[in-house]
């Protein structure tokens, strides 16, 4: 059950005591708060059909998706930029927890958010640097298109939100490396005293 079990664990890791109830019944799950789907939901709630906002114009007055938010942010839309900023903070908080829990060598972010990675990166990085223990602050966080699978062999990596927006959170990790990563995490923990 390793891969699927760990993915579920990560998706439903609690990162806040507030926000929408997750389909699992809990509040504040990483997936429910920080996924591309969650970003789209926040953008949809923030706007209304026919309000003339760029977000609704891009979505043809339908539900706003993460891709629309990214597109609007690139065009300099203030609401979209604020949504991106908040999203990046949630991602930074979630990634910090993942770094502490699993000690990956690399975090790869996929899904609908990956194409907005350049917009998210600086706040993700700043949040991780602010919150993570020193040993984890420099772990690379990259968008899926740069995370060449061939290059990941032998690296314990967390791959988040593969596929299209709305896809369930997915996590892949070298099964062979899983125990190694856990042991390393334990070793690092020990070295922190
Ligand atoms: Zn949940």
CATH of the domain at 15: 3.30.420.40
- Cα 137 to averaged position of ligand 1 atoms, centre (Å): 26
What pLDDT, on a 0 to 100 scale, did the predictor assign at position 169?
42
Mean pLDDT of 81-93: 95
Secondary structure of 86-142 in the HEC alphabet? HHHHHHHHHHHHHHHHHCCCEEEECHHHHHHHHHHHHHHHHHHHHHCCHHHCCCCEE
Distances in Å between the alpha carbon of 188 and those of 93, 95, 99, 102? 20, 17, 11, 11
More confident residue, 109 or 82: 82
Q: Please check whether residue 84 is in contact with residue 117, taking contact to mean a CB–CB distance below 8 angstroms.
A: no
pLDDT digits (tens, 9 = 90+) for 7-45: 667 778 888 888 778 888 889 888 888 888 889 999 999
| Phi-psi group of 170: left, alpha or beta (phi > 0 → left; psi -120 to 50 → alpha; rest → beta) | beta
Backbone dihedral angles phi then psi of residue 90, each to the nearest 5 degrees:
-60, -40
Distance 22 CA to ligand 1 centre (A): 5
Task: Kindly indicate the confidence band of residue 158, based on its pLDDT and cuts at 50, 70 and 90.
Answer: low
**Contact predicate 171/158, CB 8 Å:** yes
Q: How far apart are CA 137 and CA 126, in angstroms?
A: 9
Domain count, the chain: 1
pLDDT, residue 161, reads: 55
- The whole domain housing 67 covers 2-191
Whole-number Å distance, alpha carbon 77 to ligand 1 midpoint, is: 31
In angstroms, what is the span from residue 40 Cα to ligand 1's centroid? 17
Task: Identify the top-confidence range among 19-23, 56-60, 154-158, 163-167.
Answer: 56-60
pLDDT above 70 covers a percentage of the chain that reads 69
CA 12–ligand 1 middle distance (angstroms): 4
């Amino acid at each position: 059950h390793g891969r699927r079990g760990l993915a579920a664990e990560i998706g439903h890791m609690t990162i806040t005591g507030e926000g929408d109830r997750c389909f699992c019944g809990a509040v504040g799950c990483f997936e429910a708060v920080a996924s591309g789907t969650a970003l789209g939901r926040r953008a949809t709630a923030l706007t209304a059909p026919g309000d003339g906002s760029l977000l609704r114009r891009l979505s043809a007055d339908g539900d706003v998706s993460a891709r629309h938010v990214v597109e609007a942010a690139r065009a300099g839309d203030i609401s979209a930029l604020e949504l991106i900023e908040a999203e990046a903070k949630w991602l930074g908080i979630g990634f910090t927890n993942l770094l502490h829990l699993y000690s990956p060598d690399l975090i790869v972010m996929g899904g609908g958010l990956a194409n907005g990675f350049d917009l998210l990166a600086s706040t993700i990085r700043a949040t991780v640097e602010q919150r993570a223990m020193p040993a984890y602050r420099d772990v690379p966080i990259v968008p899926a298109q740069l995370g060449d699978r061939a290059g990941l062999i032998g690296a314990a990596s967390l791959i988040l939100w593969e596929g299209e927006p709305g896809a369930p959170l997915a996590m892949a990790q070298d099964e062979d490396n899983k125990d190694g990563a856990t042991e390393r995490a334990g070793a690092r923990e020990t070295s922190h005293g």
